[in-house]
Amino acid sequence: MSEAYEIVKTHYAASDRGDLEGMLAPLAENCAWTEAAGFPCAGTYIGPEEVKKNVFFALGDLFDNFTFTLNQLLDAGQHVVGVGLYAATAKSTGKSFEARVTHVWEVEEGKVVKFEQFADTKLVADALKP
């Protein structure tokens, strides 16, 4: 397995433990983290602090028990692809959802420099609609 694969694998292991700092540790200070258009925290955020605030804290404000289940992790050298499932319950509506998602990672010099999410955003948006 590539170094990139192992680095991304540590992010997912930290996610499984609920360890936010461990999830952010592999991110470079200039990491460009992109959440899909239509997703509640859509946009591109630069660096671990912006990701923490605009993605992970934002999702925690909107949803109870937001989880990602990794189904497949693909090694493509400095690129890694994670395929899985999001699940959560919207705090505002009480509606739950499950949505397929793919994460594309790029690693350089031992740090994640780019992340892009591709998700079924309609299912997530529907859970937020009253």
* Residue 30: domain span: 3-128
Average pLDDT of the residues in 2-10: 97
Predicted local distance difference test score (pLDDT) of residue 110: 96
Q: Is a pLDDT exceeding 90 seen at residue 1?
A: no
Cα angle 37-64-92, degrees, rounded to a multiple of 5: 75
Q: How confident is the model at residue 17 (pLDDT cuts 50, 70, 90)?
A: very high
3-state helix, strand, coil split of the chain in percent (to 5) is: 35, 45, 20
Residues 32-51: tens digit of each pLDDT: 999 999 999 999 999 999 99
CATH of the domain at 35: 3.10.450.50
Q: Would you give the end-to-end CA distance of the chain in angstroms?
A: 45
* Residue with tokens 């189904």, as numbered in its chain: 71
Q: To which H or E segment does residue 112 belong?
A: strand 111-119
Count CB atoms within 10 A of the CB of residue 122.
Answer: 11
**pTM score:** 0.95
Average pLDDT, the chain: 97
Q: Is a pLDDT exceeding 90 seen at residue 130?
A: yes
Instruction: Please tell me the distance from the alpha carbon of residue 115 to that of residue 79, in angstroms, as a whole number.
Output: 10
Domain count, the chain: 1
